[in-house]
Amino acid sequence: MQWLETSQPDFARKFARLVEERRESDPDLERVVGDILAEVRTRGDAALAEYTQRFDKHTLTEDDDWRIGPQACRAAFDALEPELRAALELAAARIRAYHEGQLPADRDFVDETGVRLGAKWHPVDAAGLYVPGGRAAYPSSLLMNAIPAKVAGVARLVVTTPTPKGEVNPLVLAAAHLAGVDEIWRVGGAQAIAALAYGTERIAAVDVVTGPGNAWVAEAKRKLYGVVGIDMVAGPSEILLIADSLNDPDWIAADLLSQAEHDPDAQSILITDDAAFAHQVADRIDVQCATLSTEAAARKSWDDHGTIIIVGDLSEAPALANHLAAEHVEIALDDPEPLFAQLRHAGSVFLGRHAPEAVGDYVAGPNHVLPTGRRARFASGLSVLDFMKRTSFIGLDPAALARIGPAAIALAHAEGLPAHALSVELRLK
């Protein structure tokens, strides 16, 4: 764990190194993923079957080996404990309500020159959702990806998920039933992204691919952007906490560990103005970590990437946070608004002492698929708009063309494009 203080002479250098740190690189990744994509594009289902056997030890032969039907999803939902079913339904309802508020409005108007202008929004025809499989599968991620797609109006919603040794998480199937997923294929990894992008004999291609995955999945999405749309290239999870000493150190420790337990490469950062409080939090992390079933990942994440930053005053925190541009930012103060007003770069922000990031992962409503690796400087979390596109339109009558056409002619000639100019000139004559 790294300990920094803004009063240290070399703080700027150490902080810059923290900001520039990359936790998502593998020199062989690009080549290996490129080979997998090429194989799937060329050989289709045969390549998928070989990779699934090699990586997941699952044999794809009959149709039942390839797909999970709606009856299995319904059965998984019906078999849930009542409390868990109610929790899943609450999460789905809140996610749906929040994303319905994101639906954009069409525009259609005539401006002062008489030109009709506007735009119409349409959903993509088909979307593919990647869901990590096996015991690490998360039904919350399926809801966060599938529900915005359905709210957008996507007609065909396809899930690919690995099923190691045939094992599938029933909670994921239950979530798929609740979200209205149309197809589920037992295929994972970079090969699943290739199948969604290119299409194979069994799996028809989609227009947009979203969803979390490992480094191979992220690299496949990066390479295939342009063949399909993607949500983002996501790296290891991150959390930044801004907290004063009035917080319970156990609460803050648990919040930091909530991201550390995801992945040994995840990063948890605490900014506080009280060194004694910071030491208490670090001690509680040690105690809590030893009780977690995810101790190995959480311990390595905290030891390798955890950071505590001591500032002279918490008013320094927003500038540091804006440089870090973290995936999740908690402002654990009685009045978080002054710091929140200065925060420009963050995937999602959690305000006050009673808004832990974990609530955002499940039931708050906003999407938990968020930019990592400082991408919050230019990117946003997953939304309904990731499953939609906008088509603009223009309409002119003779009078409107007469008003604005001469300017188009002048610009076309200036750019050396005489046919452009002619197409307007002929109408004006």
| Cβ-proximal residues to 399 (8 Å cutoff; 6+ apart), any chain | 114
Closest to 152 measured CA to CA, from 229, 75, 72: 229
Check: CB of residue 58 under 8 Å from CB of residue 160. no
Strand partners, 5: 310
153, amino acid identity:
G
DSSP string, 310-342: E-SSGGGHHHHHHHH--SEEEEESS--HHHHHT
Among 185, 189, 156, which residue's Cα sits nearest to residue 63? 185
Among 405, 403, 395, 404, smallest CA distance to 427 is for: 405
Burial readout 97-108 (b: 16 or more C-beta within 10 A, e: otherwise): ebbeebeeeeee
Q: Are strands 107-110 and 156-160 parallel, antiparallel or unpaired?
A: unpaired
User: In Å, how far are 186, 356, 369, 422 from 165, measured between CA atoms?
Assistant: 11, 36, 28, 66
Nearest to 142 by CA among 125, 164, 166, 158: 158
Beta-carbon contacts of 334 under 8 Å, excluding residues fewer than 6 positions away, are 246, 352, 353
d(Cα 393, Cα 402) in Å, to the nearest integer? Answer: 19
CB 197 within 8 A of CB 224: yes
Tokens of 100: 């319905």
- Catalytic positions, written as ranges: 327-328
Q: Supply the DSSP string of 352-418, one letter for each residue.
A: STT--HHHHHHTSSS------TTGGGT-----GGGGEEEEEEEE--HHHHHHHHHHHHHHHHHTT-H
Nearest residue to 151 (alpha-carbon basis) of 174, 183, 127, 185: 127
For 112, the 3-state DSSP assignment is: coil
CA distance 275 to 263: 27
